[in-house]
Chains A and B, each alone.
Chain A
Amino acid sequence: GENVEQHPSTLSVQEGDSAVIKCTYSDSASNYFPWYKQELGKGPQLIIDIRSNVGEKKDQRIAVTLNKTAKHFSLHITETQPEDSAVYFCAASNGGGADGLTFGKGTHLIIQP
């Protein structure tokens, strides 16, 4: 089955700086890669996703890149703000429901004022 590795487990950046979180996946059949943000006491919230026919996608301060050959994808957050502090999860799926989403272990992003 799919295996998703996520790094780093904790990331501390100064407010206004950029943050990058990286994930690798094992199953070459995976074609859908979402990123979720989870705040304390809440369920994960989808912030951006990318499909395997696209190399990069951007939404305001958030961007995701995908390298299918290397089987890795990354989340980039620019101009970080205090409200960006949360746990971020990457995930991968082959698009069907049989195996659901396979999540990484999460990155705790801390924005230092």
Chain B
Amino acid sequence: DAGVTQSPTHLIKTRGQQVTLRCSPISGHKSVSWYQQVLGQGPQFIFQYYEKEERGRGNFPDRFSARQFPNYSSELNVNALLLGDSALYLCASSLGQVDGYTFGSGTRLTVV
């Protein structure tokens, strides 16, 4: 079975641009969560979606938004990119809300 797939794997954007990151969960998983991992730090919670509804939001500005589609895949959007948004963006899927997360390999976003 395929694991959690994220696309693209790497991305370079200019300050002020907008970016969309995509995630496909493991088949049967209805929960998708997004995390930001800055180099040398642990992942930081951005959003959780369960059954296509937002169930949780971390301490991130409104420039960050997400949605979940009927097939449970998800997109993370970031507007007005800042240099500080450069990070590895991780998607995790699970059957429940937080337990048994399976993470994808992430999208490495570089803002220049």
Q: Which residues of A contact B (CB under 8 A)?
A: 1, 4, 6, 32, 34, 36, 41-46, 49, 89, 91, 93, 95-106
In the bound complex, do residue A101 and residue B41 qualify as a contact, i.e. CB atoms below 8 Å apart?
no
Within the complex, the shortest CB–CB distance from B55 to chain A, in Å, comes to 4
Number of interface residues of B (CB under 8 A): 29
Within the complex, the shortest CB–CB distance from B2 to chain A, in Å, comes to 14
Q: Which residues of B contact A (CB under 8 A)?
A: 4, 31, 33, 35, 40-45, 48, 50, 55-59, 90, 92, 97-106
In the bound complex, do residue B99 and residue A100 qualify as a contact, i.e. CB atoms below 8 Å apart?
no
The 9 closest A-B pairs by CB, nearest first: A100-B45, A103-B42, A43-B103, A97-B97, A97-B55, A98-B56, A97-B48, A97-B56, A93-B98
Cα–Cα distance between A23 and B97 once the two chains are bound (Å): 22
Within the complex, the shortest CB–CB distance from B53 to chain A, in Å, comes to 10
**Complex contacts, B40 vs chain A, CB 8 Å:** 105-106
Within the complex, the shortest CB–CB distance from B103 to chain A, in Å, comes to 3
CB-nearest residue of chain A to B97 = A97
In the bound complex, do residue A104 and residue B42 qualify as a contact, i.e. CB atoms below 8 Å apart?
yes
